[in-house]
Amino acid sequence: MEIGWTILYTIDILLFIIVSITVLYFTVFSFASLFSQHKTVPSAKRFNRFIILIPSYKKDDNIIETVKSILGQTYPERMFDITVISDHQKEITNFKLAQYPITLLTPNFKNSSKARSLQLAINNLPQFKIYDVVIILDAGSLVEPEFLQQMNDAFEIAGTKAIQAHRLSKNRDTAIAHLDAIFEEINNSVFRRGHITLGISAALSGSGIAYDYKWFANNITKVKTAGEDKEIESLLMRQRIFIDYFDNIFVYDEKTRGSQEFKEQRSRWVATQLKSILSNIKYLPAAILSKRYDFVDKILQWMLVPRTIMVCIIAFMSIILPFIYLSIAIKWWLLFAFILFVFAMATPDYLVDKNWNKTFYSLPKVVFSSIISRLTKKSK
């Protein structure tokens, strides 16, 4: 019996320490984000030439509105081109896309990935055209008419080769979409605004990103996995390139609406995070010794407990432990209340409404059901 209690206490303490480290990380950068200041961006002295790449994998319902959004820019038309990589999309979708003044590529990759689509696009750009900046947008994303002008201005003052725009949700019509929108803004507060405030590189989010064209063309061929944004982050950090973030340049992103899609998306992200840490942990000692603190932070960031799993661990321990030993559950209750406070601190006011608590309380249910369904499939 004593051995059983010892094992229980050991698991409890280890889990609490691991989760608390993740909570501490969120707390530091959430608090820092409160002191961020909007950057004053003067008008650029020159017009950069942009190439906008839009990988679209089975996004027939969303891709047209994205193209229209980009074509509606106030930026000079002769200074930007659009390439859509239409992978495994319907013929009618490709026919409609072909009516617009864009370059349309229609691959049917056996093993599709965003990285392959981007590589194909770069390899098929006309040799006679010279670009300064490449912008990556997801199918379904919308931008304001001033988006390219703002990116042009930002790229001039940033003095770096990578810029992340502020991704927002364009839909919050279901509880899952609302949850996804909240998590997106928490990411913006913690991994972008908070980081920039402390002088650390922001995290990339896969869309709404501008890269120096020459750098991107030379490095995208090195990307091999589905988690292309994490691989690119690693490449940037290893080359000591700062990732800047502009909070006032908006990209409106399509959020997941259903619980099944949400589960699959989070599963992919957890797998990508695991691959990132396994492939980059070997660089940690050298990054520390060479004082590449941006890279150190990035590796530590990938080592954190994924947020959805973290919330579920806290919720699970808070619910189960009182039936075993009440006193050891108290610290989990306090941690649960504290992380909700941190998340609220990192969430913009427009998302903190009467449904905020209800939305967060639905998260453990979604993840637990995902775990059960996976275990059920494996048993079959």
The range of the structural domain enclosing residue 359 comes to 2-34+306-379
pLDDT per position as a tens digit, 102-128: 999 999 888 888 999 999 999 999 888
194 and 118 fall within a common domain: yes
Which segments of 72-139 does DSSP mark as H helices, in order?
91-97, 114-123
Residue 373: inside a domain, yes or no? Answer: yes
359 and 247 fall within a common domain: no
CB 184 within 8 A of CB 167: yes
Output 121 or 181, whichever has higher pLDDT: 121
pLDDT per position as a tens digit, 183-234: 899 999 999 999 999 999 999 988 999 999 999 999 999 998 778 899 999 9
Residue 247: inside a domain, yes or no? Answer: yes
Q: What is the pTM of this model?
A: 0.91
How far apart (Å, rounded) are the C-alpha atoms in residues 225 and 232? Answer: 10
Q: In total, how many domains does the chain have?
A: 2
How far apart (Å, rounded) are the C-alpha atoms in residues 299 and 137? Answer: 25
pLDDT per position as a tens digit, 258-295: 777 777 777 788 888 888 999 999 999 999 999 999 99
**CATH number of the domain encompassing residue 246:** 3.90.550.10
Whether the pLDDT of residue 379 is over 90: the answer is no
7 and 73 fall within a common domain: no
Residue 295: inside a domain, yes or no? Answer: no
Q: Which two tokens stand for residue 112?
A: 């599709």
Whether the pLDDT of residue 366 is over 70: the answer is no
80 and 208 fall within a common domain: yes
Residue 299: inside a domain, yes or no? Answer: no
317 and 212 fall within a common domain: no
Q: What strands lie across the sheet with 243-253, from one edge to the other?
A: 103-105, 80-87, 50-57, 133-136, 209-212, 162-169, 243-253, 142-143
15 and 99 fall within a common domain: no
By percentage, how much of the chain surpasses pLDDT 90? 62
pLDDT band for position 373 (cuts 50, 70, 90): low
Residue 364: inside a domain, yes or no? Answer: yes
- When the pLDDT of each residue in the chain is averaged and rounded to a whole number, the result is 89
255 and 330 fall within a common domain: no
183 and 310 fall within a common domain: no
59 and 86 fall within a common domain: yes
How far apart (Å, rounded) are the C-alpha atoms in residues 285 and 353? Answer: 44
CB 253 within 8 A of CB 138: yes
pLDDT band for position 311 (cuts 50, 70, 90): confident
pLDDT band for position 351 (cuts 50, 70, 90): confident
Residue 348: inside a domain, yes or no? Answer: yes
